[in-house]
Amino acid sequence: MSNIVAIVGRPNVGKSTFFNRLIQKREAIVDAVSGVTRDRHYGKSDWNGKEFSLIDTGGYVVGSDDIFEAEIDRQVELAIEEADAIMFMVDVESGITGMDEEVANLLRRVNKPVFLVVNKVDAANRLHDAAEFYSLGLGEYYPISGINGSGSGELLDALVAALPEKEEEDEEDELPRFAVVGRPNAGKSSLINALIGEDRYIVTDIAGTTRDAIDTKYNRFGFDFNLVDTAGIRRKAKVKENLEFYSVMRSIRAIEHSDVCLLVVDATRGFDGQVQNIFWLAEKNSKGIVILVNKWDLVEKDTQTTKAFEKHIREQIAPFTDVPIVFISTVTKQRIFKAIETAVDVFKSRSRKIQTSKFNDLMLPIIEHTPPPAYKGKFVKIKYCMQLPTKTPQFVFFCNLPQYIRDPYKRFIENKLREHFDFSGVPIKVYFRKK
């Protein structure tokens, strides 16, 4: 579980530039999830070995200046509610504006770490100008340049020092955590109510471990797990207009906090862009995934409808197509049990460990039969392979020239793995290393 840090501030102070700078450093390891609402506004970064998720609220504001005021307020409130720390960015060139003062008013009442970041301080004479921001009443300020990165070291030192320690899950609380995620109004709450139903008494509510995602301990049909509900928790009336940003924020929290994501799709709206964003968010975080197509009772059907719908989804999620898709209706309770059963299977697959000798016996003949194609006249020889001792399935293949192995061959190996071992709904990582 990493902490969430939000960057807030009025438009054009340089939030996105700074955001890109922070996640860029890790671009090689963690690619920012492209497409979370229009472009990259969510990424992971780390500093001094401490990892955090970064959210740039800026990219969500559209509209004219008068709409901006209300929008900014709403985003700051959201950031205050959802993030563990907040960077409030202002611009030394334009000095303090009315909007800055308004944001500062909201932030002064917060009991979370708030960092006042004065951007565009890229020359010595500007350091002097930055002093006026003291008057915002937020204490110390951090002069930086988002473009060339100066000053960001001191800011990040202070930031990671102030981030709350995320307590590791207790060993005894090893129950699988299933997060119910998806767009607003796809039927997440109905699914949870259908699962928990009138049998409320079987449920013990554990106070939300992350302040917002309520954990419900669930045991029926012989299954024990925690249900992480992101559906209707404290949805403020004010946030209605900004549901897209809100649901992304919520999903990030829930996904990071879960083992398996139940992605609820509204059959009447289809597998649209925002649902895909949530899907890729779960995939990037190596979570198990089950796609639940809800409201299936409302769809006009003939013999081919299910097949066609499923095919369409698999085209959208390629190349990771080995994901279970269950058609459900929370109203008629159709296949709800099947949905949970599938999630339990995915959870088991995600923690599957394959014995090294068995793994080599299976994979080496396959590789011998279809070796990696020669590259620049060089032949790659794979000698040995094993599963890494990680929480999620990761496999390493030792060979003489790992740099010559191309993506299509990695996919071939992954497909063979999926063919022989059940990793349905589980993202797999395959590495090639020098022996």
The answer on whether 15 is annotated among ligand-binding residues is yes
Spans of the chain, pLDDT less than 50: 25-40, 59-64, 170-172, 198-212, 232-241
The answer on whether 121 is annotated among ligand-binding residues is yes
The answer on whether 16 is annotated among ligand-binding residues is yes
Cis ω for the linkage preceding 319 (within 30 of 0): yes
Cβ atoms of 244 and 278 closer than 8 Å: no
* pLDDT the model gives residue 62: 47
**In whole angstroms, what is the distance from residue 5 CA to residue 287 CA?**
21
* pLDDT the model gives residue 170: 47
* pLDDT the model gives residue 39: 38
The answer on whether 430 is annotated among ligand-binding residues is no
Give the strand order in the sheet containing 114-119.
Answer: 42-47, 50-56, 3-8, 85-91, 114-119, 141-143
The answer on whether 406 is annotated among ligand-binding residues is no
The answer on whether 183 is annotated among ligand-binding residues is yes
The answer on whether 119 is annotated among ligand-binding residues is yes
The answer on whether 25 is annotated among ligand-binding residues is no
Residues present in the chain in total: 435
* pLDDT the model gives residue 178: 92
pTM above 0.85, yes or no: no
Cβ atoms of 346 and 389 closer than 8 Å: no
The answer on whether 222 is annotated among ligand-binding residues is no
The answer on whether 122 is annotated among ligand-binding residues is yes
The answer on whether 371 is annotated among ligand-binding residues is no
The pLDDT tens digits for 380-402 are 999 999 999 988 999 999 999 99
